[in-house]
Amino acid sequence: MTLNLLLRRTHIYLALFLLPWFLMYGVSSFFFSHPPKREDGQSQWRVRFERPYEIAIPEGADLRAIGTRVLQEHGMQGSFGTYRPNADKLHVYWFNFWNATEFIYSAKEKRLLARDHVFGWNSFLTGMHARGGFEQNSVLSDGWGVAVDVVCVGMLIWIATGIYMWWQLRPTRFWGSLALGSGFAIFLIFLRAL
């Protein structure tokens, strides 16, 4: 196999393998760029319960450990994040691609509110788009993180192999140079002037 053929085949097969991710990132980006307005006044959350609850949150505590305990005490496990907007509140956000539940603990009132996210295609796609990282204690979650990295590397490979394949097509060099050059020029203008 020649280098030329290897680069061409890598471009195609990598694209075919990563097509679901690529299309997902493309379509979901639309919802970030054009967030739908909620005019019906309906909340995206449905309260599951609100009840007295007490858990110690010492200064400088490991919030993930506390989050794990809150989830375990409510029979849940899986991916989650924690957020402490102020000294009183602690948010524990549990999620998978389809569902999300948020626990909001108030240290002052010693109460816990649990609410479930109402499913919507918008949040389904944007949630999938935003998912990444290696913070969860789950091999499968880390696997998704690796897939995200592969998509990024794939995009870099498509650029490199794409430019290589374009350069081989002599009749397209003029218009190709114009497209590539004007793209970089406009991008640099944005960097300076935005």
Partner 1 sequence: MFSKLIRRTHMYLALFLTPWVLIYALSTMAMNHREFLKRFYGENPVQFEKESEQVYSGTVPPDATPKQAAVQILRNLNREGAFSVQGRPDGEQLTIFRQHPISPQRIIYSPKDHKLVIEKQVFNSATFLERMHRRRGFQHDYGLEDTWAFSVDLVIVAMTFWGLSGLWMWWELRATRGWGVLSLTAGVALFAFFLFTI
From CA 181, how far away is CA 103, in angstroms rounded? 51
CA-CA-CA-CA dihedral for 99, 43, 129, 146, to nearest 10: -40
| Nearer Cβ to partner 1 (55/165) | 165
| Nearer Cβ to partner 1 (72/162) | 162
| Nearer Cβ to partner 1 (11/115) | 11
In the bound complex, what is the minimum distance in angstroms from residue 162's beta carbon to partner 1? Answer: 5
In the bound complex, what is the minimum distance in angstroms from residue 134's beta carbon to partner 1? Answer: 7
Looking at residue 172, the DSSP 8-state letter turns out to be: G
In the bound complex, what is the minimum distance in angstroms from residue 44's beta carbon to partner 1? Answer: 19
| Nearer Cβ to partner 1 (108/169) | 169
| Nearer Cβ to partner 1 (92/113) | 92
Q: Which amino acid, residue 97? A: F
Give CA separation, 117 vs 44, 89, 99, 121, in Å.
Answer: 6, 19, 7, 12
Residues that bind partner 1 in the complex, under the rule CB under 8 A: 9, 12-27, 29-30, 32-35, 78-79, 96-97, 132-135, 138, 140-141, 143-145, 147-149, 151-153, 155-156, 158-159, 162-163, 165-166, 169, 172, 175-176, 179-180, 182-184, 186-187, 190-194
Looking at residue 117, the DSSP 8-state letter turns out to be: E
| Nearer Cβ to partner 1 (93/158) | 158
Contact in structure between 157 and 8 (CB atoms under 8 Å): no
In the bound complex, what is the minimum distance in angstroms from residue 51's beta carbon to partner 1? Answer: 29
In the bound complex, what is the minimum distance in angstroms from residue 94's beta carbon to partner 1? Answer: 12
For residues 132-170, one letter each, b for 16 or more C-beta atoms within 10 angstroms of the residue's C-beta and e for the rest, the string is eeeebeeeebeebbeebeebeebeebbeebeeeeeeeee
In the bound complex, what is the minimum distance in angstroms from residue 24's beta carbon to partner 1? Answer: 8
From CA 176, how far away is CA 62, in angstroms rounded? 53
